[in-house]
Every structure is written in C-alpha cells, then in structure tokens.
C-alpha cells in the first residue's frame, strides 16, 4: 500500500521553502527519523526527517524547487500512514534530529544536520569521530581534525553555500547576453530574504549616515592587560568593549534604542537594550542578538560572542536568536580592509553602528604628530526619529567611553 508524505508545517508562519538537496531516491529503504531532504526557507535551513520506516516508491520534488506546506514530497511502500502534522520541524538553521539506536547499546553520534551534511560531503563516518561538544556532540571543528584519508573529493573541508552546491551538482545552462556567454543561478531563500529586507529598509526608512574615529590606543593596551577573575589567562578583543560602550551610550541616548511606529504615529522606547551582532555565514548575513547587553560585564559579553561564533561555524542558529534586537553592530573591519561604510538599518531598529578596520595612523596630539591606534566608526540612523545633532552627541558618548576604557568595567 502506497503512503504519502507531504511538507509539514515549518512553524513561525512559514508556508513555503526551497529544496536544497534530495537525500533519498526511489527504491531506497529509509528508517524513521532518517533525513529525507533539506529545505531552506527565508528564516532557516532544515532537514526533513522521515516519520516512519519504509521503501521509497516515489520522489516528487527536485533540487531548487519551491514547495508549499502540504505539497507531496515522497511516497512509500510499507510503514504506517505519514501525515504532515505527524512531523515536527523546528525552524532553525540547523535542527537536531533524534535518531533510533543503530543496534542494541549503540547510539548514533549527536550532531546537527549541518555537521552531518558536511560529514557526508567529506566522506566521514560520524561514528568514528570523537565529539568535543556538549554530551559528545560532533562539531564542524571535530570534522576538520579528521585525517584527510577519510575526507571526500573536495579536500577542502569547507561547507559551500547552497548556491555553490547547486551549481556543483548540476551543470548551469549557458546562454548569451549582448556581449557574451552567461550563466544564471537562482537566489537562495536566505539571500532573497536578505535582499527583501534591505530594499524594505532603504525604501521605507530615511537613512542618514555619519562617520568619525575613536582613538583606541589606550583601550588596546587596557584590553591586553585586562583579566577576568574566573579565567585569568583569557584574551579579550576590542569588540566586547565596543558593545559595552554602545550599551552604555544607548542608556544615555534612548532615542537610538527606539522604533518608529508609522501606523500609530508613535515612538516606541524599548526599556531593554538588546544588541544584534552582524555575523557572516554560509547562508549570508545573520545578526544574532545579545539580550540585555547593558546588564552584561565585559567577560559575559565575550562569552556571548564566543557562543555566537561557534553557532555561526556550525550554522546552528535558532530563529529566535536573531529576533528582538533594538540596535545592531556590524563588525565590518573584521572581514578585511573596510574603513568607513554606509550601513543599512535593520527595521524596526532606529540605528546601526559599523566598525571599520583598526589601524595605526599618524595623529596630531597637542601639536605633535604621533602614531595612534584608530578605530573608524560609521552610524546610520532613522531621520524620522532624531536629527544630526543628537546623533553627534550619541557618537561622541561612544567615542568618549572607548577612549577612557576604565569606565567600561566599573
């Protein structure tokens, strides 16, 4: 008897997604909880597990296809009836799937679908990998430590983007424009969501941008000598201090922690300060939120940033990790040679701060040219909420705190 399996509810109001990879074929025998396919929505990338054991008699989707909740995905011979409502798929960038025991006394190694996917691409058997994560969870770093003899054909150990994987798995058709040959690649759901958000921001929010510099020479010395009580050998980057300074400045200038409610013609003042940190991932730019940042110490902020970096490496963000931010910091300088920029506001936030690359520069102090460590800053703000004079005072508060770092740890 043939059984149908349709795309389950993806949650959070998500009604459609794009097929990234089909992991099974007709005639395959699958077991309950085995991944069937990977789907990307505008909020997350997930693996869809099989709700039961059976033989695949039909695969009704192809890679890059757009599917809606309720669309037929796979049919099976054997097993119990599978309904879309029987499968719970959390809308996370990498959703952990509970699996059945492989044999009595032998459990599958815990790992996120993103890590499982990378292991498949590298030809690595997860059962042979010692996981360094909580509860023996296998991480991407663990896979990178596996000897290359186990590696797949790519040999790089790098997880490519969905578009790169799609291009590698099927030859893109070549066509011509007026001047020569071209190929076309479809936008991923994540890239489309980012594009839509950016267009919505610049078309609905009147941006104004200002740039300035912070002399962080003393801060650089201070952070190199700064020690936390619990980890005296720990090293700190400048970023936790910038986040702390920004949170303190937002307390003093709450309009930059507010939102503009056009429908009700009101200003919404957030009584909490939660700072989103822009992180570049394989899926594009993601901005996980450091909640109640004004209540965090420098070591606590550093801990949160370390956790963000690990989730970025393993693509294990949950949707709610990127929601509820009241202000955004983009660390553009960490990527390379950026100095000043024109960052785009993340609605409904009122402003965004971009950090350029810190450099030693000649600087005039008391009539003398001396080398100083300079951090370029760029702020874009919603001109409906406030004006340039307020922004200058806000910027100067941040700069003042960065140039007098002892005040950041009181």
Query: Is residue 154 over pLDDT 60?
Result: no
Is the overall model pTM greater than 0.75, yes or no?
no
Domain 1-100 has CATH 2.40.50.100: yes
More confident of the two residues 16 and 92: 16
Do the Cβ atoms of 36 and 48 come closer than 8 Å?
yes
Of 329 and 315, more confident: 329
The answer to whether 181 touches 174, Cβ cutoff 8 Å, is yes
Return the higher-pLDDT residue of 220 and 158. 220
Write down the CATH superfamily of domain 207-408.
Chloramphenicol acetyltransferase-like domain (3.30.559.10)
pLDDT for position 239: 95
Assess whether pLDDT exceeds 90 at residue 345. Answer: yes
Confidence of residue 312 (pLDDT cuts 50, 70, 90): low
pLDDT at 83 over 70: no
Cα 363 → chain centroid:
37
Domain residues of the chain, as ranges?
1-100, 103-172, 207-408
Looking at the chain, the whole-number percentage of residues with pLDDT higher than 90 is 40
Average pLDDT of the chain, as a whole number = 80
Strand partners, 277: 329
Question: Catalytic site residues?
Answer: 383
pLDDT for position 44: 64
73-77, 131-135, 360-364: range with highest mean pLDDT: 360-364
Confidence band for 292, pLDDT divided at 50, 70 and 90: very high
> What does the buried/exposed string (b/e) look like for 326-339 if buried means 16 or more CB atoms within 10 Å of the residue's CB?
bbbbbbbbbeeebe
Q: Is domain 103-172 in CATH 4.10.320.10, yes or no?
A: yes
Place of tokens 């770093």: 141
């Amino acid at each position: 008897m043939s059984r149908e399996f349709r795309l389950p509810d993806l949650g959070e109001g998500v009604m459609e997604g794009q097929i990234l990879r089909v992991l099974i074929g007709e005639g395959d025998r699958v077991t309950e909880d085995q991944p069937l396919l990977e789907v990307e929505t505008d909020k997350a990338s997930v693996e869809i597990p099989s709700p039961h054991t059976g033989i695949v008699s039909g695969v009704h989707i192809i890679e890059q296809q757009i599917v809606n909740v309720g669309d037929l995905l796979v049919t099976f011979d054997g097993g119990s009836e599978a309904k879309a409502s029987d499968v719970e798929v959390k809308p996370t960038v990498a959703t952990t799937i509970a699996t059945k025991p492989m044999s009595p006394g032998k459990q599958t190694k815990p790992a996120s679908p993103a890590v499982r996917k990378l292991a498949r691409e590298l030809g690595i058997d997860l059962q042979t990998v010692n996981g360094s994560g909580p509860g023996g969870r296998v991480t991407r770093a663990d896979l990178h430590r596996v000897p290359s003899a186990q590696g797949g054909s790519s040999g790089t150990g790098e997880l490519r983007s969905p578009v790169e994987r799609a291009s590698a798995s099927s030859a893109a058709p070549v066509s011509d424009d007026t001047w020569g040959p071209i190929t076309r690649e479809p936008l991923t759901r994540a890239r489309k969501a980012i594009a839509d958000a950016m267009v919505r921001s610049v078309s609905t929010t009147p941006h104004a941008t200002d740039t300035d510099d912070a002399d962080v020479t003393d801060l650089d010395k201070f952070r190199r000598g700064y020690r936390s009580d619990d980890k005296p050998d720990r090293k700190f980057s400048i970023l936790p201090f910038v986040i702390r300074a920004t949170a303190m400045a937002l307390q003093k200038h709450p309009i930059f922690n507010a939102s503009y409610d056009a429908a009700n013609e009101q200003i919404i003042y957030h009584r909490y300060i939660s700072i989103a940190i822009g992180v570049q991932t394989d899926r594009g730019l993601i901005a996980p939120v450091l909640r109640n940042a004004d209540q965090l110490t420098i070591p606590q902020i550093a801990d949160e940033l370390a956790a963000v970096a690990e989730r970025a490496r393993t693509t294990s963000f949950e949707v709610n990790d990127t929601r509820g931010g009241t202000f955004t910091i983009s660390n553009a300088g960490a990527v390379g040679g950026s100095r000043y920029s024109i960052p785009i506001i993340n609605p409904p936030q009122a402003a965004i701060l971009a950090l350029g690359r810190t450099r030693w520069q000649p600087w005039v102090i008391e009539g003398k040219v001396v080398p100083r460590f300079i951090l370029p800053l760029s702020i874009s703000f919603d001109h409906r909420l406030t004006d340039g004079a307020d922004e200058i005072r806000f910027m100067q508060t941040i700069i003042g705190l960065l140039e007098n770092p002892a005040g950041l740890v009181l």
